């Protein structure tokens, strides 16, 4: 398959980046473009904004219409068809099973992975009144909220960052939860009421990290991207995504996981929560950095043996 880079017909090569159209996604694509041009100023880097199925259908709960993969499918199609050379993703949106011929070849240094509580009306979660409503489309966030605060109502709320903030401001819900990193990237950090501590809510797999997807074997394109890769983040996400693959595949379940590199070892914290928030399993495991994949698999096996199978069955039944 010829790529857009090699058929550009220009003296200096052109790279085309596939990206979603949201403000956050465009910021991430422009950030990658900036990083490329800082090192290779002689080339041209263009953006190809694409509206994905997840962006088009904002009425139904995400888990009911196909999960997070709906935010990357059209971008991946543009790669396979040679319309783009690379696609830029929020790694929390990337499924573990990729289309044949594609790979996540670069993962940038991770930003803040935590979740942000946004509630100008009542302030902190501790002050949030019984019966008030939180808006979120995340099964993970929903489950954690119900586990810690079963007295709170949770309503499915779809849309990009700015859309959900406008729905909050319009009074549709009393609070929302968004990724800290996303808010920081588009200069909306001032909207954060408080950052939710990890002991209360572990982040989504890959949250806070930007990934670049390319065609396998496209070393020409990769040569312009390798300097963006962060080996530490890449290794940590290897453990997290291994955990995700063993438990979820490409479906959605209330799973959280976060891995940190302590120089000589990786520490992976994981949590699997009942979709109704009635029970939660937590596990922490460590391994040498070179054993990142087996660390994720080991953690998944432990969760499954200690109540995870029952939680998965309940979650999958609830989504039917």
Closest Cα partner for 93 from 55, 64, 45?
55
Residues designated as active site: 93
Structural contact between residues 87 and 221, judged by C-beta atoms closer than 8 angstroms: no
Residue 3 pLDDT grade (very low, low, confident, very high; cuts 50, 70, 90): very low
How do residues 124-170 score in pLDDT, each as one tens digit?
Answer: 999 999 999 999 989 999 999 999 999 999 999 988 899 999 999 99
Q: Is 294 helix (H, G, I), strand (E, B) or coil?
A: helix
Domains of the chain: 14-108+209-229 (3.40.190.10), 115-195 (3.40.190.10), 243-319 (3.30.160.40)
**What is the SS3 string spanning 100-118?**
CCEEEEEECCCCCCCEEEE
Q: What is the pLDDT of residue 312?
A: 85
- Determine the Cα–Cα distance for residues 213 and 259; give it in Å rounded to an integer: 21
- Determine the Cα–Cα distance for residues 8 and 174; give it in Å rounded to an integer: 50
Radius of gyration, alpha carbons of the chain? 20
- Percent of the chain clearing pLDDT 70 (strictly above): 88
Closest Cα partner for 140 from 23, 223, 267, 257?
257
């Amino acid at each position: 398959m010829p790529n857009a880079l090699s058929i550009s017909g220009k003296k200096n090569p052109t790279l085309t980046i596939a990206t979603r159209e949201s403000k956050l996604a465009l910021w991430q694509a422009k950030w990658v473009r900036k990083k490329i041009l800082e090192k290779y100023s002689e080339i041209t880097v263009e953006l190809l904004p694409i509206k994905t199925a997840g962006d088009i259908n904002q009425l139904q709960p995400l888990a009911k219409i196909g999960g997070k993969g709906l935010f990357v499918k059209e971008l991946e199609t543009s790669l396979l068809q040679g319309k783009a050379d690379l696609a830029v993703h929020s790694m929390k949106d990337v499924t573990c099973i990729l289309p044949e011929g594609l790979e996540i070849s670069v993962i940038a240094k991770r930003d803040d992975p935590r979740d942000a509580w946004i509630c100008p009306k009542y302030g902190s979660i501790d002050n949030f009144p019984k019966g008030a409503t939180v808006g979120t489309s995340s099964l993970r966030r929903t489950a954690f909220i119900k586990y810690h605060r079963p007295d709170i109502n949770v309503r499915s709320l779809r849309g990009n960052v700015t859309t959900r903030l406008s729905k909050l401001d319009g009074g549709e819900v009393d609070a929302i939860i968004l990724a800290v990193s996303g808010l920081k990237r588009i200069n909306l950090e001032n909207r954060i009421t408080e950052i939710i501590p990890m002991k209360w809510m572990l982040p989504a797999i890959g949250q806070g990290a930007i990934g670049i997807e390319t065609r396998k074997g496209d070393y020409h394109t990769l040569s312009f991207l390798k300097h963006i890769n962060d080996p530490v983040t890449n290794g940590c996400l290897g453990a997290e995504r291994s955990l995700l693959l063993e438990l979820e595949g490409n479906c959605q379940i209330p799973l959280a996981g976060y891995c940190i590199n302590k120089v000589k070892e990786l520490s992976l914290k994981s949590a699997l929560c009942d979709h109704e928030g009635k029970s939660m399993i937590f596990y922490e495991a460590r391994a040498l950095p070179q054993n990142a994949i087996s660390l994720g698999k080991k953690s998944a096996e432990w969760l499954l043996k200690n109540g995870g199978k029952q939680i998965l069955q309940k979650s999958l039944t609830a989504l039917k």
